Amino acid sequence: MNGADPLSLLSLEPAGPGRYAVPMPPGSQEGGNVVFGGQLMAQMIMASAAASDGSKYVKSMQVIFSRAGLYAAPIHLEVEPFHTGRTWASDLITARQGDRLLTRALVLSTSDEPDLVAHQLLPPPDVSGPDTGEIARGIVFPGAEVRTAKLSSETSGGVPVLSFWTRLPGPCGSLPASQAVLAWATNGWLIELSMRPHRDRVRIEDAHRSLSTGVIAQTLNFHREFDAGSWILVSQEATFAGKGRVHGRGVAHTEDGTLVATFSQDSMVRPGGHGAGSPL
């Protein structure tokens, strides 16, 4: 990754019709040699944009993570058009490492239309603003800022909740890039959040050691335009834990309270350390 260009990880290299080589960071933000799922989601958004004529933007993506990728070998994305119409289009995007299928996503795109009716989930969580938040660490797009967003309680409805602010140091300049940056930030928090009420039994530090953890599927929906160079509030709740599985959901708002995205995630947390094996 070029340190002078924080968006260099989104610059895909054409490798044939509907095929792209993805740039790789020097290593995982989580540690180890397993490619972060948020990276693949972000790059799939860029592959969808590259394969289109620019008349549509990503409305939603449904992703299945079937095998873990490694940083030691190249990864390619293959875009297979599923449907193309005047208003809607869809692509099936597959991430492969050599002959291994890693991840597959169904990406739905839409053309822009004016509001006929409009409403959104209100209000956003009541949190401290980014100007008063403390600088924090977390799995967000490389080079992006993270600041705490303090909630009145660490739980809501009996489950753990978490909010944080994130932004790039400068404007993204395109909606696909902004969507990709946000997608990266939605993927890596919910497993750890689900463990917080059970610190006496499980800890995120034991992942891939005594615990087998991994994101299995994620659905991400975009609702309004935004620029990831401005503050985005990402709020999440670990809705369910049980039977070796965890489920969570989240929302993303701009600083003025506009809802720009919603997402949900299914993951596993079970005994037995597995590093780079298949989660399925």
Q: For the chain, what percent of residues have pLDDT higher than 90? A: 80
Residue 118 lies in a domain: no
pLDDT score for 4: 61
pLDDT score for 2: 43
Q: Give the alpha-carbon dihedral of 23, 29, 32, 33, to 10 degrees.
A: -10
Q: How far is 126 from 150, CA to CA, in rounded Å?
A: 8
pLDDT score for 107: 98
**Confidence category of residue 272, pLDDT binned at 50, 70, 90:** confident
CATH label of the domain that carries residue 22: 2.40.160.210
pLDDT score for 275: 47
Q: Is residue 77 classed as helix, strand or coil in its secondary structure? A: strand
As a whole number, the mean pLDDT across the chain is: 92
Residue 278 lies in a domain: no
Structural domains counted in the chain: 1
Residue in this structure with the two tokens 């390619």, named with its chain if needed: 76
pLDDT greater at residue 1 or residue 113: 113
Give tens-digit pLDDT for 29-45: 776 788 999 999 999 99
**Confidence category of residue 278, pLDDT binned at 50, 70, 90:** very low
Mean pLDDT within 153-158? 94
Q: For the chain, what percent of residues have pLDDT higher than 70? A: 95
Residue 155 lies in a domain: yes
User: Quick check: 76 and 232 in contact, CB under 8 A?
Assistant: no
Residue 217 lies in a domain: yes
pLDDT score for 251: 98
**Strands in 40-158 per DSSP E:** 57-65, 76-84, 88-97, 100-110, 145-148, 155-156
**Confidence category of residue 101, pLDDT binned at 50, 70, 90:** very high
Residue 192 lies in a domain: yes
Mean pLDDT within 213-221? 96
**Confidence category of residue 1, pLDDT binned at 50, 70, 90:** very low
User: Quick check: 151 and 161 in contact, CB under 8 A?
Assistant: yes
Full domain range(s) for residue 154: 8-112+123-271
DSSP letter (8 states) at residue 129: -
Q: How far is 211 from 269, CA to CA, in rounded Å?
A: 7
Contacts of 85 (CB under 8 A, 6+ apart): none
φ, ψ at 128 (rounded to 5°): -70, 150
Mean pLDDT within 152-172? 95
Q: How far is 27 from 30, CA to CA, in rounded Å?
A: 9
For residue 274, is pLDDT > 60? no
pLDDT score for 277: 43
Whole-structure pTM value = 0.94
Burial label for 182, CB within 10 Å (0-12, 13-18, 19+), is buried
Residue 215 lies in a domain: yes
Mean pLDDT within 52-80? 93
pLDDT score for 273: 65
Q: How far is 265 from 53, CA to CA, in rounded Å?
A: 30
pLDDT score for 209: 77
Crossing angle for the helix pair 175-186 and 37-51, to the nearest 10 degrees? 160
For residue 120, is pLDDT > 80? yes
The identity of residue 218, as a single letter, is Q
Burial 1-25 (b: 16+ CB within 10 A, else e): eeeeebbebbebeeeeebbbebbbe
